[in-house]
Structure 1
């Protein structure tokens, strides 16, 4: 007998597993398929990346029951300092006392651990890990995926969540607007002399942004942060080949001493940077979420948050449709998801792309113009509030799961 589920989620990473869990909390069943080994994904040192979880995304995690597991591991972001090369004219974003933090920083490993543990105990989720999809079918009455071991999984709706290189998206023939920034993000943990005071620093240099993101102190009280340093692709190999002492000296120079003396913690990883946005988020009985739908520059830390907004929206659309007796793969529901998410995701990505290009223009005059604009934002509370609400994910039409 076929074990047909509501959803067939292809990709069990942060966004895909959150989709499965959020759907399950709303009563929707799913198969989740991923090629990766969960033990490797949650191993110490596998992925040194950390993610800024916005206010809206934290609401989502709270509403699907992850807050208690995650709370001890997150560092609140109480302020964001944005500066053009540490010159005068920076912007300081700070929430009102009643609003809590601007977000929380988590190691990706901790997010995976919490998600995997919650999914393992959820009867509406069946995980197929270390599994390769060799065939996908989308028809008038349902979808299926055939795995390499011969297993055939059936569902009403296929959800593509495999990330930027999504084979589901490619097989569906969905085209993308895309370009390469010719930059690479270098990511490594730091320990430092001074406390970070829960402040995230976004320091813009013509060669690329240099971000210092606060993490919880170590158990022995050592202060820790995550560094995301963007360099030109042509320079990346040389920077990565530097002796650690030289790399550290270069990083130290760019911080202007805001964290005091620095030391590297862990290995340096690197990721190429590009822009990609699909022409559509849907096809017949198919919805794309996360990086399968839109990959962006990490300049504002919105990539994962944008994917979590996809999750909240898709779950809400499906639940409301099923209450009316509609099938999860109904074209009306997919059209609503497309309409709701397309404009928001494009606006966020366009703003991020614009900032990347604006701050990449070298020279004194462009720097002076940028700092003048930043000074205007700093002195204009309504404008500053708008930027903060965008960063926190609480502006516009927000899905119920992402509300407090």
Structure 2
């Protein structure tokens, strides 16, 4: 058997919702990029592989537009309003996109449609190779470069290795990068619901005793539920027959959208927080879940990963144009400085919100209800929170501003 040796600029491990957009951004600037993905394409793009729906914030859509991915995205639902309530309390917080302009807060897109769009865009870029299903057997990093031996026996040499291989990242472990984090003893139940009455693009976030119950608008008269329960209770609910599951869901959903019908399968995921002690190592950069993971309470998980994508792409492409070593320590440190503080800040906020809104002590409930009502009546403060929901706060990489690299 002939062994092939390939020399490239960047090797990306993981062709998911963070790895592939980074590869597309880098390759669009002329860098030679190879992506290794162990799932077969036909599995990777099916609803059974990932039935979740992602909230693509306004800034994240800018990235997808700038990289040409958005042109291939089908069936998107604009998120026009966000309504936040605390259990049975009559106090609420309402975000109206018209207070910031004509653009929605974001768009709801099924993950499989995002994957499909990314896969189509990848085929349009001559300097990008997507190899799937392929795994590596060994990866060696030295001060001079990266060498990966594939399960096929082929070898790939690169200047930079990007780990987009998930929250249990083997590359992160191989590099000896520790994580700080904890389990919430909660699970997220995810399913799609059809309803009689239109949702009008309004997303609902209801804080219930076990955790948040999010109702996210999808195309047509459909919504995606992200339903938080204690781990053991979630197992019981997931095991219920269809009719009983629908009954439990309806108790929490309410009747404001009319008759409800669960459509398609249901999924359950353990909820936890993790933060890598560092995002870089010799010739290695972590992005997305390999670098951090957060509670879905604010629906910002994918958006946080795409901020990594935009920042890493910018520092690498700028370095390449200046003739610098794209996998060198100075370039990787620039990326880490840019991203780590922002990520820690958002993880702390989401962790605090989850703990605050699952606390049933009466004075705490009263304080947060007063807080929701107060913010709702303070235009400047509410505007700041709405900009956060759009992903437009902080030092934004050019891709998140809608600018090409």
Coarse TM-score class (shorter-chain normalised): over 0.9
Q: How many residues align?
A: 398
Corresponding residue to 2:321 among 311, 316, 323: 323
**Displacement of 1:146:** 1.0
3-state SS of 1:122 partner: coil
- In the alignment, is residue 350 of structure 1 matched against residue 353 of structure 2? no
- Aligned position for 1:387: 385
Deviates more, 1:343-352 or 1:252-261: 252-261
3-state SS of 1:383 partner: helix
**1:323-378, CA deviations, whole angstroms, 9 ceiling, x for partnerless residues?**
22101101111110000001111111111111111001024332221110111111
TM-score under structure 2 length normalisation:
0.96
- Within 5 Å, which residues of 2 pair with 1:48-127? 48-70=51-73, 72-95=74-97, 96=99, 98-127=101-130
3-state SS of 1:187 partner: strand
Q: Is the 8 A contact 1:8 1:144 kept in 2?
A: no
- Within 5 Å, which residues of 2 pair with 1:291-302? 291-302=289-300
3-state SS of 1:265 partner: strand
- Aligned position for 1:235: 233
Moved segments of 4+, more than 3 Å: none
Q: Is the 8 A contact 2:6 2:155 kept in 1?
A: no
Q: Is the 8 A contact 1:161 1:290 kept in 2?
A: yes
Q: Is the 8 A contact 2:294 2:350 kept in 1?
A: yes
- Aligned position for 1:6: 9
- In the alignment, is residue 26 of structure 1 matched against residue 29 of structure 2? yes
Q: How many angstroms apart in 1 are the aligned matches of 2:284 and 2:112?
A: 29
- Aligned position for 1:149: 152
- Within 5 Å, which residues of 2 pair with 1:117-266? 117-217=120-220, 223-266=221-264
Q: How many angstroms apart in 1 are the aligned matches of 2:47 and 2:389?
A: 30
**Displacement of 1:164:** 0.4
**1:5-37, CA deviations, whole angstroms, 9 ceiling, x for partnerless residues?**
111101111110111111111222211111111
Q: How many angstroms apart in 1 are the aligned matches of 2:109 and 2:81?
A: 16
Q: How many angstroms apart in 2 are the aligned matches of 1:290 and 1:258?
A: 36
**Displacement of 1:391:** 1.7
3-state SS of 2:117 partner: helix
User: Tell me, which stretches of 5 or more residues in structure 2 are unaligned?
Assistant: none
**1:71-127, CA deviations, whole angstroms, 9 ceiling, x for partnerless residues?**
x41100001101101421110011236241000000001001110111123211112
- In the alignment, is residue 46 of structure 1 matched against residue 49 of structure 2? yes
Q: How many angstroms apart in 1 are the aligned matches of 2:185 and 2:230?
A: 6
Q: Is the 8 A contact 2:72 2:121 kept in 1?
A: no
Deviates more, 1:161-170 or 1:120-129: 120-129
Q: How many angstroms apart in 1 are the aligned matches of 2:281 and 2:266?
A: 39
User: Tell me, which stretches of 5 or more residues in structure 1 are unaligned?
Assistant: 218-222
- Aligned position for 1:220: none
**1:218-243, CA deviations, whole angstroms, 9 ceiling, x for partnerless residues?**
xxxxx101011011002121111112
**Displacement of 1:45:** 3.2
Q: How many angstroms apart in 2 are the aligned matches of 1:285 and 1:31?
A: 15
Q: How many angstroms apart in 1 are the aligned matches of 2:351 and 2:100?
A: 31
**Displacement of 1:383:** 1.1
3-state SS of 1:98 partner: coil
- In the alignment, is residue 334 of structure 1 matched against residue 356 of structure 2? no
